[in-house]
């Protein structure tokens, strides 16, 4: 089985250039419920390619970002960290660079084992950003209408800066 992504936009991601907006990023989820769609809304302009489906195998280059930076979303749980490791390894094997790993909080403290696994991924992914839990998302009809707390706004700005190679990125991989 090849590593593929469910697309929320029809067709494939076109190559960079032409009429596509500058600063576009591709947002993929390492698993379902990782917050991919929410991140794509907050990181506009962005392509939400959904969850990476199937069991990642290192046997083909079925995943493409069209030259755009890739943000991989994952929850802050132990199973999520394991899935993120599998997906990152498969993507790197296929020649796809994961520019940012966005670790989205579920409101509970990050388990030590998950923190350890994410620390190991730091050698394969240049930037890991932890996105704090935003309680108001639970009651909102759309993530676009949520007034983000300062820490969440800073995390989103750091993802954009890191993905787009801007020098304004500060250290933000501190322990949760």
Per residue in 81-96, pLDDT tens? 999 999 999 888 888 8
Note whether 57 and 111 are within 8 A (CB): no
pTM of the model: 0.81
Residue 153 pLDDT class (50, 70, 90 cuts): very high
What residue segments make up the domains of the chain, in order of their start?
23-163
| Summary mean pLDDT of the chain | 80
Write down the pLDDT at residue 110.
Answer: 95
Q: Are strands 127-131 and 100-104 parallel, antiparallel or unpaired?
A: parallel
Q: At residue 151, does pLDDT exceed 90?
A: yes
Per residue in 111-142, pLDDT tens? 999 999 999 999 999 999 999 999 888 878 78
Write down the pLDDT at residue 121.
Answer: 94
The one-character DSSP state at 34 is: S
Write down the pLDDT at residue 117.
Answer: 96
Per residue in 56-68, pLDDT tens? 555 554 677 878 8
23-163: what fold?
Rossmann fold (3.40.50)
Query: How many CB atoms neighbour CB 5 within 10 A?
Result: 23
Q: At residue 12, does pLDDT exceed 70?
A: no
Write down the pLDDT at residue 64.
Answer: 77
Q: At residue 173, does pLDDT exceed 50?
A: no
Write down the pLDDT at residue 133.
Answer: 92
Write down the pLDDT at residue 144.
Answer: 83
């Amino acid at each position: 089985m090849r590593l593929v992504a469910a697309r929320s936009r029809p067709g494939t991601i076109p190559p960079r250039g032409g009429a596509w907006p500058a600063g576009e990023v591709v947002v993929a989820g390492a698993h379902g419920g990782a917050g991919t769609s929410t991140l794509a809304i907050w990181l506009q302009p962005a392509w939400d390619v959904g969850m990476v489906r199937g069991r990642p195998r290192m046997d083909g280059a079925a995943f493409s970002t069209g030259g755009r930076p890739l943000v991989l979303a994952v929850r802050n749980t132990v199973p999520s960290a394991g899935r993120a490791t599998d997906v990152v390894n498969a993507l790197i094997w296929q020649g796809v660079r994961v520019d940012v790993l966005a670790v989205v909080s579920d409101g509970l403290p990050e388990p030590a084992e998950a923190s350890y696994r994410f620390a190991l991924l730091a050698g394969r992914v240049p930037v890991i950003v932890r996105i704090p839990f935003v309680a108001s998302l639970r009651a909102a009809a759309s993530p676009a209408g949520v007034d983000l707390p300062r820490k969440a706004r800073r995390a989103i700005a750091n993802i954009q800066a890191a993905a787009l190679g801007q020098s304004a990125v500060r250290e933000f991989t501190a322990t949760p």
